[in-house]
Structure 1
Amino acid sequence: MKMLRTIAPALSLLLLVSVTSCRKNPPARPDQPFVAPNVSMQDITFHSPALNRDMPYRVFLPVHIEQGEKLPVVYLLHGGNGGFRDWSNNSQVSRYAAQGLILVMPEGAFSYYMNAAGKTEDRYEDYAFTDLISDVESRFPAANTRDKRAIIGISMGGFAAIKIAFTRPELFGFVAAFSPSIDILHRRYNMKRTGEWWRIRTIFGPWGSDARTARDPLGLVKKAEPSKTPYIYLTVGENEPLRDPNQRFAQQLRDSHFSFEFHIKPGGHDWGEWDSQIPGAFESLIKHSNICDSKPHS
């Protein structure tokens, strides 16, 4: 009987993980991208050495590009359980490509764009911030300097954008995060969310581990140098659970004298709110970086 009491919790946990992993994925939504006038769209598949497999990404760029011209690049990271088509299907972001920008939307799966602590083959950070950038800059007329690169992420992608701003500040001159899951490493999960808990543990490592600490923006902000960190545009919806964690994070940035701005806007954790934040982010991008002169390419 004592052995049964010992084994039962483990069996329950295994059952919960199995049930979670066996749930059917929701049906794929139709791919209906919004492509603005004077903008072309391309879907690219390339081989990522870091992941040792082919990965897709979507690109918007101006139809008319002058010979020898090198265009600034903005990388757009999707959220958890999303995909590389999300930005194009749920927003009108393509219109900014007509301003002389290359917009790159990579596939990130549910990875937080991190090198997974528990799966050495899942090196998503190396894929996204080494392999992908290299492929974009060799395939397209893309500028290859920090001041001509920017990154914008939503939710999971916003977390990654903030984290990379602290750990690899030499890559991007501007960072924007919409509703970033900034507190993901500090959440407690109940038994109904065992599957999500296990995925987070695989990516970031167990509680208290060095791997987890090295991936936590709330800790990294205390070590980062404000003078070397790119300008940060941070926004969150007033009706979403992430409002309070992001308010506290903004206060950390303020106390440490980072260059940033923080906005609480109407809306929740959804594309209605995020699409409405795109104009403000690009206005800030133009104001606080040398990435573009906002001259239309028509």
Structure 2
Amino acid sequence: MSYRVFLPQSVADGHNAEPLPVVYLLHGNGGGFRDWSNESDVARYAALGAILVMPEGGASYFLNAVGRPKDRYEDYLTKDLVKDVAERFPARRDRAGRAVIGVSMGGYAALKVGLSHPEEYGFVGAMSPPVDAPERGFSWRRFWQWWNFREILGPMGSEQRRERDVFALVDSVRPEATGFVYLGAGEREPLLDPVRRFAGRLRRRGFAFVFQVKPGGHDWGEWNRQIPDCFERWKTIAVPGGIAASGH
């Protein structure tokens, strides 16, 4: 499976063996592992002393697909990729030293992974996540989207779909045991209302989080406005002794 890595110059030159925090950056549906490097200036954050890892996820939502037993993207992301990165690069292995951030489909995946594996990720970033995906019923106009969701999430009303529903996960995990959540959306995008609803659920459950609405729609223009704030929040987690406060 292809993935791209950005390293601090000292690591690329072979001069730094000190373990560094790792940020996994997940792309959106219809994109690929090159998106973060091609569409944003995220490379500059490697200079802060981080390893940035951008894996390929196809249209998988980076999940283990119910209807495609061989498509086990969540296992790949949380087990195989983490192991490979640790063997190849000076990666920190503690919870605070591991973050997952995604846009659109990748944002949903970041929430799912962070909530399902709270012991592994100290920070979760989700920009424009389609948090309402498990609620979307059949539609001829969006038949292929419906079919893809059914293959990945499972049939409507099934336990498999509930296990992959981030709203259900928020209700089932302990907020104090979960990493800090950065949640963002564009003020002109169709996902704003469900993302607001998700932010309300985080607030009621007592999660440590922040919710930011920025100008723009469901695109890299808006996500590039979110990225600086997201990484500023991430630094408070990744830097030893950093403390993140609850957000609103």
TM-score by length of 2: 0.93
Residue 139 of structure 1 corresponds to 88
Inter-CA distance 236–292: structure 2 relative to 1 (3 Å threshold): farther
Residue 28 of structure 1 corresponds to none
1:227 is paired with a residue of what secondary structure?
helix
Inter-CA distance 76–143: structure 2 relative to 1 (3 Å threshold): same
Q: Does 1:87 align with 2:33?
A: no
1:192 is paired with a residue of what secondary structure?
coil
1:213 to 162, 166, 188: 162
Q: Which runs of 5+ in 1 are unaligned?
A: 1-54
Given that 1:286 and 1:293 are in contact with CA atoms closer than 8 Å, whether structure 2 keeps it comes out as no
CA distance in structure 1 between the partners assigned to 2:17 and 2:49 by the alignment? 14
Tell me the CA shift for residue 67 of structure 1: 4.0
Q: Does 1:161 align with 2:110?
A: yes
Residue 261 of structure 1 corresponds to 210
Aligned residues: 239
Alignment of 1:96-245 (within 5 A): 96-245=45-194
1:70 to 1, 11, 19: 19
CA distance in structure 2 between the partners assigned to 1:239 and 1:77 by the alignment? 22
1:248 to 194, 197, 208: 197
Tell me the CA shift for residue 194 of structure 1: 1.3
CA distance in structure 2 between the partners assigned to 1:293 and 1:256 by the alignment? 25
Give the percent of matched residue pairs that are identical in Structure 1 and Structure 2.
54
Tell me the CA shift for residue 167 of structure 1: 1.0
CA distance in structure 2 between the partners assigned to 1:195 and 1:137 by the alignment? 37
Matched letter for residue 116 of structure 1: A
2:81 is paired with a residue of what secondary structure?
helix
Given that 2:137 and 2:156 are in contact with CA atoms closer than 8 Å, whether structure 1 keeps it comes out as no
CA distance in structure 2 between the partners assigned to 1:291 and 1:211 by the alignment? 37
CA distance in structure 1 between the partners assigned to 2:174 and 2:62 by the alignment? 22
Given that 1:72 and 1:292 are in contact with CA atoms closer than 8 Å, whether structure 2 keeps it comes out as no
Given that 2:136 and 2:146 are in contact with CA atoms closer than 8 Å, whether structure 1 keeps it comes out as no
Deviations 1:91-114 (A, max 9, x none): 000000011110000001101111
Given that 1:153 and 1:178 are in contact with CA atoms closer than 8 Å, whether structure 2 keeps it comes out as yes
2:223 to 265, 268, 274: 274
2:141 is paired with a residue of what secondary structure?
helix
Matched letter for residue 228 of structure 1: A
Matched letter for residue 207 of structure 2: F
1:190 is paired with a residue of what secondary structure?
coil
Given that 2:100 and 2:114 are in contact with CA atoms closer than 8 Å, whether structure 1 keeps it comes out as no
Matched letter for residue 245 of structure 1: P
Tell me the CA shift for residue 292 of structure 1: 6.5
Tell me the CA shift for residue 189 of structure 1: 3.9
CA distance in structure 2 between the partners assigned to 1:234 and 1:119 by the alignment? 29
Q: Does 1:58 align with 2:10?
A: no
Matched letter for residue 60 of structure 1: F
Whose Rg is larger?
Answer: 1
CA distance in structure 2 between the partners assigned to 1:290 and 1:131 by the alignment? 22
Deviations 1:7-44 (A, max 9, x none): xxxxxxxxxxxxxxxxxxxxxxxxxxxxxxxxxxxxxx
Matched letter for residue 290 of structure 1: A
Tell me the CA shift for residue 293 of structure 1: 9.3
Tell me the CA shift for residue 290 of structure 1: 3.2
Q: Which runs of 5+ in 2 are unaligned?
A: 243-248
1:262 is paired with a residue of what secondary structure?
strand
CA distance in structure 2 between the partners assigned to 1:99 and 1:67 by the alignment? 13
Deviations 1:211-252 (A, max 9, x none): 001100011111110110100000100000110001111111
TM-score by length of 1: 0.78
Tell me the CA shift for residue 119 of structure 1: 1.1
